[in-house]
Structure 1
Amino acid sequence: MKDMLKNMMYAGIGAAFLTREKLEEMRKELMDKGCLSVEEGKAFVDDLLKKSDVAKGNLEQWIGRKVEEKVKQCHLASADEVAELRRKVEELEAALRKEQGCGCQQDSGAAA
């Protein structure tokens, strides 16, 4: 019983990183030791898979927030901000060419 609780604690802590295959191995081991019935084993795996999905989602959100915070702290431009600046530069180049009377459509090299 103590081993089962220890295994469940470890499973809870590492739920975000467990795969179905690893959970099935744990289930089989617990069933072989007589700690779980077939029904309990299935419920165990299903429950941990759900918890794993939730933990993965929470971890991804947390990492996303931390990355956004660091990007803001570094004053880095986002892809949208860079695209908007490119658009404005192209507009200014076109206006400058028009004002200079060139009228030619030169490649600005911004299509990279």
Structure 2
Amino acid sequence: MADDSILKKSVLAGLGIYSLTREKAQEIVADLQKRGELSKDEGAKFVKAMMEKADEEMAYLKKVVDKQVKETISTIRPTHEDEFKKLHEKIDKLSKQVEKLSSK
């Protein structure tokens, strides 16, 4: 299913960006600290700000994924309910036929 592939890629991309963001932020901070352009305290604040932004992005991604899952389920559910109803009717019909044949 194409939607499943898009959903999976979105989640994986979000997780990848999250871990990449922390690593990249730490690399940038380490480089700036080596050059004396950033104090340890400023570096910690920078990494914290980057991670807060990444958390916001992950929360947004979660909302998008949740919405997509709900939409997908709502399109699948009626089909299954219709099939279940048809099967139930068929079982009832067959049960009546068996009762009829048994009583002869």
TM-score by shorter chain over 0.5: yes
The 1:77–1:62 alpha-carbon spacing in structure 2 relative to 1, beyond 3 Å, is: closer
**Structure 2: segments with no counterpart, 5+ residues:** 1-15
TM-score (norm 1): 0.54
2:31 pairs with 29, 32, 55, which one?
29
Alpha-carbon distance, 1:37 to partner = 0.5
Of Structure 1 and Structure 2, the greater helix share is in: 2
Alpha-carbon distance, 1:42 to partner = 0.8
Q: Which has the higher contact order (CA 8 A, sep 6+)?
A: 2
How many residues matched? Answer: 82
Query: 1:23 is aligned with what amino acid?
Result: A
2:84 pairs with 81, 87, 97, which one?
87
Are 1:44 and 2:46 matched, yes or no?
Answer: yes
Moved segments of 4+, more than 6 Å: 66-69
Residue deviations 1:23-68 (CA, integer Å, cap 9, x gap) = 2111111212222110110111111111101112213434654787
**Structure 1: segments with no counterpart, 5+ residues:** 1-15, 104-112
TM-score (norm 2): 0.57
Contact 2:18–2:58 (8 Å) recurs in 1: no
User: How high is the sequence identity, in percent, across the aligned residues?
Assistant: 24
Specify the SS of the correspondent of 1:101: helix
